[in-house]
Amino acid sequence: MSVFDYVWDLLKAQTELGEHHPDFPSSQGPVVGFHGRNHSIRHNVKLKEGQESWRDRLHQEFDGDYDAMRDQVAREKDAELMNTGLVPNDEPIAQIGSGRWTEEPGGLNGQWNREIPANVSVASEYSTAKDYAQGMVGHKDSTGNPGFYGVRAGALENQLPMDEPKRRYGDIDSQPEKGADYSTNRYRFIAGGVKPNQMTRIPLEDAEEFSTGSTGPWTKYDKDGNEIPKNAPTTKFKTHGPDKAWKENYTDKFDHDDLETSWARGEEAGKASNQWIEDTVSSWRDKKAKQEDYQRRRKEMADQDRQREESVPQQKLF
């Protein structure tokens, strides 16, 4: 997106600063999760009158320049999302994680569970959302530009219960001894979707730096695998995402000769990451309640002052 396009989008919409940078202030609190999607031409192109396929627009409007069309389609879709927010796609492939759609292995006996609201998934790990933004084989068309968005604490006011028994995501049969917990706990499912002021653009190339609060590895190891302490390199962001908590709590390297221990460390780090999200949302909620109470008391005082003024006889001026 060009500077002109960015500024024009900003001027056209009545938006909060927080919609345009993760560090900017927002009534919806800090970024606590991520959503990624691929702005593919196939699924997002808007055809004009007389055009029957994306190829018609490619040749009529862009003179066959595929890259130019891909960039324009991404700009149009990004502007749409920042105007509408993230709206649920109520199809089985998008709703199976939350349990709104369930099926047996192999896609058999699928059924809707309508008591679970249609929802949008929010990942607690930047890498998961990044995979979707780049295009996951079998799930997304990878021919478009990546769209990567931070999701703020306010959106999680509408998250579905983490202990919903129908929750599921991915191939749980690959780790039958672990059940679905390891996969599903990477996601929060937001009933009704995410509002525009609850999300913010984050360039994909900045996703890791923002979420981890670091520009590189926090630790390094000697030839024997012993950890050598290392300070986290300075990051340009003032805030950070949940991956910082994960890295702080996964203090040893992955040991391929001891998978059980390494998986256990990963699960503990995942719990720390999820706890950081819960604590951050709780802190935002408390701050919001105090602000609302302050505004309420200010209004009451203003009303009392006005009533006192109205009760005092006004001196007539001649």
pLDDT > 90? residue 177: no
Instruction: Give a yes or no: residue 304 inside a domain.
Output: no
Domain count, the chain: 1
Instruction: Give a yes or no: residue 146 inside a domain.
Output: yes
pLDDT of residue 279: 96
Average pLDDT (181-191) is 76
pLDDT > 80? residue 182: no
Calpha distance 239→223 (Å, rounded): 34
pLDDT of residue 268: 81
pLDDT of residue 276: 95
Where in the sequence is the domain holding 8, given as residue range(s)?
A: 3-290
Tokens of 295: 């505004």
pLDDT > 70? residue 199: yes
pLDDT of residue 151: 98
Average pLDDT (172-199) is 72
Instruction: Give a yes or no: residue 298 inside a domain.
Output: no
Angle between helices 66-84 and 3-12 (to 10 degrees): 20
pLDDT in tens, 41-89: 888 889 988 899 989 999 999 999 999 999 999 999 999 999 999 999 9
Binning pLDDT at 50, 70 and 90, where does residue 254 land? low
Full-model pTM:
0.81
Instruction: Give a yes or no: residue 223 inside a domain.
Output: yes
pLDDT > 90? residue 4: no
pLDDT > 60? residue 6: no
Tokens of 206: 């900045």
Calpha distance 123→35 (Å, rounded): 6
pLDDT > 70? residue 186: yes
Q: Which residues contact 242 (CB under 8 A, 6 or more apart)?
A: 32, 33, 124, 125, 211, 273, 274, 276, 277
Binning pLDDT at 50, 70 and 90, where does residue 172 land? very low
Closest CA to 82 of 21, 138, 27: 21
